Structure 1
């Protein structure tokens, strides 16, 4: 529950009221996970970071929701685990496993301020896949790998047998549905 305007004492009283309501349902507030904070400090909720910041170029303050650092590190860890050299037999198999992870993560976070995060994740995944290609083909130089797997596609997306790497940077973001 979020109290946007009020004192700390009012927030603590609301905490007690919420605890009473949840007790009737057989639930309880976790003391370790629940805290009272200012909106300027921000907090993480369901993978999103919610924080009030000054809007760029203005003097107005706005509440932003964007992917939390923990959520981003989680998906980056999954990409890192998939792009280990010994785990995948072919680029097609790698892309078949990687694309649903990237697509699902981006679909979940597309309703926040996520465009820059998507660009960062896309760059990270692209670099991991191209590094994986270079390790898989040690006797082939970069120019030949580029021509075979990357050239001639929008954004130089890796492709094999009709499977193209998902482009997270081009996903449309719809903020505050």
Structure 2
């Protein structure tokens, strides 16, 4: 994952990473490589790329918001005091990191399978089988 405000920097990084991988016999797979914006759809290589991306089962995306729910940048507050004297600046968006649709679908399929296997089992057996699966998934996300 390469994140930058400047598209040229991302393209330069893509070339640098390709060169870095060559000596060890690896290459960037075009079908697995996406250049996108986290807030707005963009036109890239003749395709419209939707905002956000999936990484390690997470979906990272930004959503536009009004001034009362906006994220802020700038100085840190501690004990009511502003440290580096720069006031907070409204960003106009919030960053959401949540489980990807693919990860949620996979988790639901696993749960369905366990429920299917334990149709005739007592309720306590089903619960004891589901609890570690759900707890593990929740702890990861």
What TM-score, normalized by structure 2, do the two folds share?
Answer: 0.66
Match for residue 130 of structure 1? none
1:37 alignment partner in structure 2: 36
1:58 aligns with 2:69: yes
Q: For residues 115-167 of structure 1, what are the alpha-carbon distances to aligned partners after superposition, in whole Å with 9 as ceiling and x for unaligned?
A: xxxxxxxxxxxxxxxxxxxxxxxxxxxxxxxxxxxxxxxxxxxxxxxxxxxxx
Q: Secondary structure of 2:96's partner?
A: strand
> Any conservation in 1 of the 2:4–2:10 contact (CA below 8 Å)?
no
By how many angstroms is 1:24 displaced?
3.2
**Paired position in structure 2 for 1:74:** 106
More strand by share: 2
**Higher-helix-fraction structure:** 1
Aligned partner of residue 30 in structure 2, secondary structure? coil
SS of structure 2 residue aligned to 1:4: coil
Structure-2 residue corresponding to 1:12: 11
Say if 1:108 and 1:58 are closer, same or farther in 2 by CA, change over 3 A: same
SS at match of 2:94: strand
| Structure 1 segments of 4+ aligned residues over 4 angstroms from their partners | 85-88
Are the aligned partners of 1:82 and 1:88 in contact in 2 as well (CA < 8 Å)? no
Give the drift of 1:87. 4.8
CA positional deviation for 1:30: 1.6
Corresponding residue number in structure 1 for 2:125: 93
Q: 1-side partners of 2:3 and 2:111: how far apart? A: 37
Alpha-carbon separation, structure 2, partners of 1:101 and 1:27: 35
Q: Do the aligned residues in 2 keep the contact of 1:44 with 1:50 (CA within 8 Å)?
A: yes
Q: How many residue pairs align between the two structures?
A: 108
* 1:32 partner SS: helix
For residues 85 and 35 of structure 1, do their structure 2 counterparts lie closer, same or farther at Cα, with a shift above 3 Å needed? Answer: closer
Q: Is the 8 A contact 2:118 2:126 kept in 1?
A: no
Q: Which runs of 5+ in 1 are unaligned?
A: 110-177
Give the Cα separation in 2 of the matches to 1:105 and 1:79. 11
Match of 1:3 in 2: 3
